[in-house]
Protein backbone atom coordinates (compact mmCIF):
# COMPACT_ATOMS: atom_id res chain seq x y z
CA UNK A 1 0.00 0.00 0.00
CA UNK A 2 1.24 3.49 -0.90
CA UNK A 3 0.17 6.02 1.71
CA UNK A 4 -0.18 9.75 1.05
CA UNK A 5 -0.35 12.42 3.73
CA UNK A 6 -2.81 15.33 3.59
CA UNK A 7 -3.10 18.23 6.02
CA UNK A 8 -6.88 18.25 6.04
CA UNK A 9 -10.01 16.94 4.35
CA UNK A 10 -12.83 19.33 3.48
CA UNK A 11 -16.30 18.29 2.35
CA UNK A 12 -15.10 14.74 1.76
CA UNK A 13 -12.40 15.92 -0.65
CA UNK A 14 -8.66 15.82 0.01
CA UNK A 15 -6.10 17.95 -1.80
CA UNK A 16 -2.53 16.70 -1.81
CA UNK A 17 0.40 19.08 -1.37
CA UNK A 18 2.48 19.87 -4.44
CA UNK A 19 5.20 17.43 -3.37
CA UNK A 20 2.69 14.63 -2.73
CA UNK A 21 0.85 15.45 -5.97
CA UNK A 22 4.05 15.20 -8.04
CA UNK A 23 4.89 11.86 -6.47
CA UNK A 24 1.37 10.54 -7.00
CA UNK A 25 0.92 11.73 -10.60
CA UNK A 26 4.40 12.08 -12.12
CA UNK A 27 6.23 9.29 -10.31
CA UNK A 28 3.56 6.68 -9.59
CA UNK A 29 1.60 7.58 -12.75
CA UNK A 30 -1.83 7.67 -11.15
CA UNK A 31 -4.77 8.95 -13.20
CA UNK A 32 -8.33 10.15 -12.67
CA UNK A 33 -10.48 7.41 -11.08
CA UNK A 34 -7.48 5.59 -9.61
CA UNK A 35 -7.83 4.56 -5.96
CA UNK A 36 -5.24 5.87 -3.49
CA UNK A 37 -4.89 5.72 0.29
CA UNK A 38 -4.58 8.79 2.49
CA UNK A 39 -4.21 9.82 6.10
CA UNK A 40 -4.39 13.17 7.85
CA UNK A 41 -2.50 11.92 10.90
CA UNK A 42 -5.58 11.65 13.08
CA UNK A 43 -5.82 7.87 13.17
CA UNK A 44 -7.95 7.06 10.13
CA UNK A 45 -7.07 5.52 6.77
CA UNK A 46 -8.97 6.99 3.84
CA UNK A 47 -9.64 5.12 0.62
CA UNK A 48 -10.01 7.84 -2.02
CA UNK A 49 -10.65 8.18 -5.76
CA UNK A 50 -8.70 10.73 -7.81
CA UNK A 51 -10.93 13.36 -9.40
CA UNK A 52 -8.24 15.81 -10.50
CA UNK A 53 -4.87 14.40 -11.57
CA UNK A 54 -2.99 17.68 -11.36
CA UNK A 55 0.72 17.21 -10.49
CA UNK A 56 0.54 20.46 -8.53
CA UNK A 57 -2.71 19.92 -6.63
CA UNK A 58 -4.07 16.41 -6.99
CA UNK A 59 -7.56 16.07 -5.51
CA UNK A 60 -9.37 12.92 -4.42
CA UNK A 61 -12.84 12.20 -3.08
CA UNK A 62 -13.15 9.96 -0.03
CA UNK A 63 -14.94 6.67 -0.74
CA UNK A 64 -14.24 4.82 2.51
CA UNK A 65 -12.97 5.64 6.00
CA UNK A 66 -11.25 3.03 8.15
CA UNK A 67 -11.07 4.45 11.68
CA UNK A 68 -8.23 3.67 14.10
CA UNK A 69 -6.24 1.90 11.38
CA UNK A 70 -3.12 0.31 12.92
CA UNK A 71 -3.74 2.47 15.97
CA UNK A 72 -2.23 1.48 19.29
CA UNK A 73 -4.49 1.60 22.33
CA UNK A 74 -1.57 2.47 24.59
CA UNK A 75 0.89 5.33 24.31
CA UNK A 76 4.62 5.65 24.82
CA UNK A 77 6.02 9.09 25.61
CA UNK A 78 9.79 9.45 25.35
CA UNK A 79 11.36 12.57 26.85
CA UNK A 80 14.89 12.74 25.52
CA UNK A 81 17.82 15.16 25.61
CA UNK A 82 18.71 15.44 21.88
CA UNK A 83 22.31 14.43 21.02
CA UNK A 84 24.78 17.02 19.81
CA UNK A 85 24.71 15.62 16.27
CA UNK A 86 21.42 16.50 14.60
CA UNK A 87 21.37 13.44 12.36
CA UNK A 88 21.38 11.12 15.38
CA UNK A 89 18.25 12.72 16.81
CA UNK A 90 16.57 12.67 13.39
CA UNK A 91 17.45 8.98 13.08
CA UNK A 92 15.73 8.30 16.40
CA UNK A 93 12.65 10.28 15.33
CA UNK A 94 12.37 8.35 12.06
CA UNK A 95 12.81 4.90 13.57
CA UNK A 96 10.63 5.52 16.63
CA UNK A 97 7.73 6.59 14.38
CA UNK A 98 8.15 3.45 12.28
CA UNK A 99 8.26 1.21 15.36
CA UNK A 100 5.55 3.04 17.31
CA UNK A 101 5.59 6.08 19.58
CA UNK A 102 2.90 8.47 20.72
CA UNK A 103 4.75 11.52 21.98
CA UNK A 104 8.28 12.93 22.03
CA UNK A 105 9.53 15.73 24.27
CA UNK A 106 13.02 17.14 23.74
CA UNK A 107 14.64 17.84 27.12
CA UNK A 108 17.10 20.53 28.06
CA UNK A 109 19.29 19.06 30.81
CA UNK A 110 22.31 20.30 32.71
CA UNK A 111 24.67 18.37 30.42
CA UNK A 112 22.75 18.94 27.18
CA UNK A 113 24.89 19.92 24.21
CA UNK A 114 21.97 20.62 21.89
CA UNK A 115 19.74 23.44 23.06
CA UNK A 116 17.31 23.76 20.12
CA UNK A 117 15.57 21.63 17.53
CA UNK A 118 14.23 22.31 14.05
CA UNK A 119 10.52 21.55 14.29
CA UNK A 120 9.84 21.95 10.56
CA UNK A 121 12.57 19.47 9.66
CA UNK A 122 11.29 16.95 12.22
CA UNK A 123 7.76 17.30 10.83
CA UNK A 124 8.98 16.18 7.39
CA UNK A 125 10.84 13.23 8.87
CA UNK A 126 7.78 12.15 10.87
CA UNK A 127 5.47 12.28 7.85
CA UNK A 128 7.93 10.32 5.71
CA UNK A 129 8.23 7.67 8.44
CA UNK A 130 4.44 7.48 8.78
CA UNK A 131 4.08 6.83 5.06
CA UNK A 132 6.82 4.20 5.15
CA UNK A 133 5.29 2.24 8.04
CA UNK A 134 1.59 2.93 7.22
CA UNK A 135 1.05 4.88 10.43
CA UNK A 136 -2.18 6.88 10.52
CA UNK A 137 -1.78 8.70 13.84
CA UNK A 138 0.93 11.35 13.84
CA UNK A 139 3.08 11.39 16.98
CA UNK A 140 3.22 14.63 18.94
CA UNK A 141 6.59 16.40 19.15
CA UNK A 142 6.55 18.99 21.90
CA UNK A 143 8.73 22.11 22.11
CA UNK A 144 11.98 21.69 23.99
CA UNK A 145 11.55 22.06 27.74
CA UNK A 146 13.88 22.12 30.74
CA UNK A 147 14.24 18.91 32.75
CA UNK A 148 12.97 20.51 35.96
CA UNK A 149 9.92 22.00 34.30
CA UNK A 150 9.05 18.72 32.60
CA UNK A 151 9.13 16.91 35.92
CA UNK A 152 6.91 19.58 37.41
CA UNK A 153 4.37 19.33 34.58
CA UNK A 154 4.19 15.53 34.80
CA UNK A 155 4.19 15.09 38.58
CA UNK A 156 0.42 14.50 38.66
CA UNK A 157 0.48 12.04 35.75
CA UNK A 158 -1.09 8.64 36.32
CA UNK A 159 1.06 7.05 33.63
CA UNK A 160 3.97 4.80 34.52
CA UNK A 161 7.08 7.00 34.68
CA UNK A 162 10.61 5.69 34.25
CA UNK A 163 14.07 7.20 34.16
CA UNK A 164 17.00 5.44 32.49
CA UNK A 165 20.53 6.28 33.56
CA UNK A 166 23.93 4.67 34.00
CA UNK A 167 24.44 3.17 37.44
CA UNK A 168 25.71 -0.07 38.89
CA UNK A 169 22.94 0.17 41.45
CA UNK A 170 20.16 0.62 38.91
CA UNK A 171 17.22 -1.70 39.49
CA UNK A 172 15.07 -3.77 37.14
CA UNK A 173 15.75 -3.96 33.40
CA UNK A 174 13.25 -2.23 31.16
CA UNK A 175 11.64 -5.44 29.90
CA UNK A 176 10.74 -6.39 33.48
CA UNK A 177 9.51 -2.91 34.40
CA UNK A 178 7.02 -2.13 31.64
CA UNK A 179 3.49 -3.47 32.03
CA UNK A 180 1.41 -4.49 29.04
CA UNK A 181 -1.55 -2.23 28.39
CA UNK A 182 -0.23 0.72 30.41
CA UNK A 183 0.79 4.09 29.03
CA UNK A 184 4.37 4.99 29.91
CA UNK A 185 6.76 7.94 29.91
CA UNK A 186 10.50 7.26 29.77
CA UNK A 187 13.25 9.79 30.45
CA UNK A 188 16.45 9.46 28.40
CA UNK A 189 19.39 11.68 29.34
CA UNK A 190 22.05 13.50 27.29
CA UNK A 191 25.37 12.07 26.13
CA UNK A 192 26.93 12.80 29.54
CA UNK A 193 23.90 11.24 31.29
CA UNK A 194 21.70 12.95 33.84
CA UNK A 195 23.50 14.66 36.72
CA UNK A 196 23.19 13.10 40.20
CA UNK A 197 20.95 16.02 41.20
CA UNK A 198 18.62 15.40 38.23
CA UNK A 199 18.44 11.69 39.02
CA UNK A 200 17.67 12.37 42.65
CA UNK A 201 15.00 14.90 41.74
CA UNK A 202 13.28 12.40 39.44
CA UNK A 203 13.43 9.60 42.01
CA UNK A 204 12.07 11.87 44.73
CA UNK A 205 9.07 12.77 42.58
CA UNK A 206 8.01 9.22 41.79
CA UNK A 207 10.04 8.20 38.73
CA UNK A 208 11.15 4.56 38.67
CA UNK A 209 14.74 3.75 37.62
CA UNK A 210 15.22 1.28 34.77
CA UNK A 211 18.22 -0.31 33.12
CA UNK A 212 19.08 -1.27 29.54
CA UNK A 213 21.64 -3.82 30.67
CA UNK A 214 25.39 -3.65 31.21
CA UNK A 215 26.26 -1.91 27.94
CA UNK A 216 26.57 1.85 27.77
CA UNK A 217 24.27 2.97 24.97
CA UNK A 218 24.22 6.21 23.03
CA UNK A 219 21.31 8.51 23.84
CA UNK A 220 19.41 7.78 20.62
CA UNK A 221 20.11 4.04 20.88
CA UNK A 222 18.75 3.88 24.42
CA UNK A 223 15.62 5.75 23.35
CA UNK A 224 15.07 3.37 20.45
CA UNK A 225 15.57 0.33 22.70
CA UNK A 226 12.84 1.76 24.93
CA UNK A 227 10.50 2.03 21.92
CA UNK A 228 11.25 -1.52 20.81
CA UNK A 229 10.79 -2.99 24.29
CA UNK A 230 7.51 -1.14 24.81
CA UNK A 231 6.06 -2.20 21.46
CA UNK A 232 7.11 -5.83 21.89
CA UNK A 233 5.45 -5.97 25.29
CA UNK A 234 2.27 -4.40 23.90
CA UNK A 235 2.13 -6.38 20.64
55/102 same-domain check: no
Residue 139 has what pLDDT? Answer: 97
Does residue 71 lie within any of the structural domains? no
113/183 same-domain check: yes
Domains in the chain: how many in total? 2
How many C-beta atoms surround the C-beta of residue 35 within 10 A?
12
Domain CATH number, residue 228? 3.40.1280.10
Does residue 61 lie within any of the structural domains? yes
61/84 same-domain check: no
37/117 same-domain check: no
Query: Which stretch of 103-107, 141-145, 153-157, 192-196 has the lowest confidence by average pLDDT?
Result: 153-157
- The residue from 66, 90, 106 where one domain ends is 66
pLDDT of 114 strictly over 70: yes
Does residue 158 lie within any of the structural domains? yes
19/100 same-domain check: no
Residue 72 has what pLDDT? Answer: 86
123/221 same-domain check: yes
How many C-beta atoms surround the C-beta of residue 120 within 10 A?
7
Does residue 110 lie within any of the structural domains? yes
Which pLDDT tens digit goes with each residue over 32-87?
999 999 999 999 999 999 999 999 999 999 999 999 998 888 999 999 999 999 99
Chain-wide mean pLDDT for the chain? 94
pTM of the model: 0.93
DSSP assignment of the chain, as one string? --EEE-S-EETTEEE--HHHHHIIIIIS---TT-EEEEE-SBS-EEEEEEEE--SSS-EEEEEEEETTTT--SS-EEEEE---SSHHHHHHHHHHHHHH--SEEEEEE-TT-S-----HHHHHHHHHHHHHHHT--BPPEEPPPEEHHHHHHHHTT--SEEEEE---TT--SBHHHH--TT--EEEEE--TT---HHHHHHHHHTTPEEEB--SS---HHHHHHHHHHHHHHHT-
28/134 same-domain check: no
pLDDT of 225 strictly over 80: yes
Residue 170 has what pLDDT? Answer: 60
Does residue 133 lie within any of the structural domains? yes
161/184 same-domain check: yes
Domain span at residue 183 reads 76-233
Does residue 178 lie within any of the structural domains? yes
Taking the mean position of all CA atoms in its chain, how far away is CA 104?
6
Domain CATH number, residue 33? 2.40.240.20
113/217 same-domain check: yes
- The residue from 66, 87, 108 where one domain ends is 66
86/46 same-domain check: no
Does residue 121 lie within any of the structural domains? yes
pLDDT of 166 strictly over 90: no
147/229 same-domain check: yes
55/100 same-domain check: no
- The residue from 66, 86, 110 where one domain ends is 66
Q: How confident is the model at residue 167 (pLDDT cuts 50, 70, 90)?
A: confident
Amino acid sequence: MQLFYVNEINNNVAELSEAESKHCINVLRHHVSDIIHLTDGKGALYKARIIDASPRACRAVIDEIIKDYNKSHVKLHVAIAPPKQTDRFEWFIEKSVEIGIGEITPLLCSRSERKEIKAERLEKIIIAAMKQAIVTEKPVVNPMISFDRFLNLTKQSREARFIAYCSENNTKPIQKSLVKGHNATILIGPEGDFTPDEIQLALSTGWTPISFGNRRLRTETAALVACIAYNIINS
